[in-house]
Amino acid sequence: MGNLFPKLPVADWIDAFVDWLTSTFEVAFDGISEGLEVVVDSLVAVFAFIPSFIFIILMTLIAWKLANKKIALFTLVGLFLVDNLGYWEPMLDTLALVLSAVIISIIIGVPLGIWASQKNTVKQIVVPVLDFMQTMPAFVYLIPAIFFFNIGVVPGVVASVIFSMPPTIRLTILGVQQVPADITEATESFGSTTAQKLLKVQLPLAMPTIMAGINQSIMLALSMVVIAAMVGAPGLGADVYRAVTQIQIGRGFEAGLAIVVVAIILDRITQNLGTKKQGGM
């Protein structure tokens, strides 16, 4: 068999392709790299500018307003613990990394999801790409990401975006297509334009589902922080990674605990955001 069909040189093709991309789009990649770095850095700067106790109170109030008392209490205690353990600054780095990745996911993912929900051909292209993005091991595209964007926070953001964007797109498609047929029919029967249909009917009705997708994206982005640390992104992930390589079980656990706290706070707040919208009241 092996002789009959010589091995396809897929690896060589990819190498050549990556080389070609790096040399051809160097300027573009540099631009993206700088842009992303500015975004993440300014987020970190803003977060760091706020004293930790004020930040904790702010987050607690947000949790109270958007979710409920219990989650507000958890936020208060959890963040205090993170501060107490000495992971405040790494946590801000992580928060900035996750937020930038999720914001990019939303900016790209929601419009793409809407487009795919309207046009079947787009959906047929997008869905397999999403499968690819989610199942391809992150390390595999982390390496070319270093080529394109150098070491640091940027390849971390890019890898997080690739890994976390699919649920936002998928659930946007699902949400828009789930709008009952008779409601879209009714909307059309009153002479609405495509834009009116989308803005007044489909998106509001799809919002809970889209929010669930964004919630999933946040969780996936958080799960990428350790991997992002491997390419040099600062944050809690870097602490975990260091602890693992130096076999510091206790420190690793502390950093891991801080990640869990951030994850639970973000998850509960965004989850309640989705269900609150659903009530429509």
Piece of 17-25, 63-71, 76-84, 179-187 that binds another protein (CB under 8 A): 179-187
The alpha carbon of 141 is separated from its chain's Cα centroid by a whole number of angstroms, namely 16
Q: How many chain residues bind another protein (CB under 8 A)? A: 19
d(CA 32, CA 26): 10
**Using the rule CB under 8 A, is 183 a contact of another protein?**
yes
Question: Residues 133-172 vs another protein: string with x where CB under 8 A?
Answer: ----------------------------------------
Q: Are 140 and 81 in contact (CB under 8 A)?
A: no
194: tokens are: 């495509």
128: tokens are: 């397999």
**Using the rule CB under 8 A, is 186 a contact of another protein?**
yes
Piece of 85-93, 108-116, 184-192, 249-257 that binds another protein (CB under 8 A): 184-192
d(CA 278, CA 143): 41
The alpha carbon of 155 is separated from its chain's Cα centroid by a whole number of angstroms, namely 13
201/240 with CB nearer another protein:
201
d(CA 204, CA 8): 49
- Shortest Cβ distance from residue 182 to another protein (Å)? 4
Strands (E), 90-224: none
- Shortest Cβ distance from residue 256 to another protein (Å)? 40
Residues in contact with another protein by the rule CB under 8 A:
180, 182-183, 185-193, 196, 200-201, 204-205, 280-281
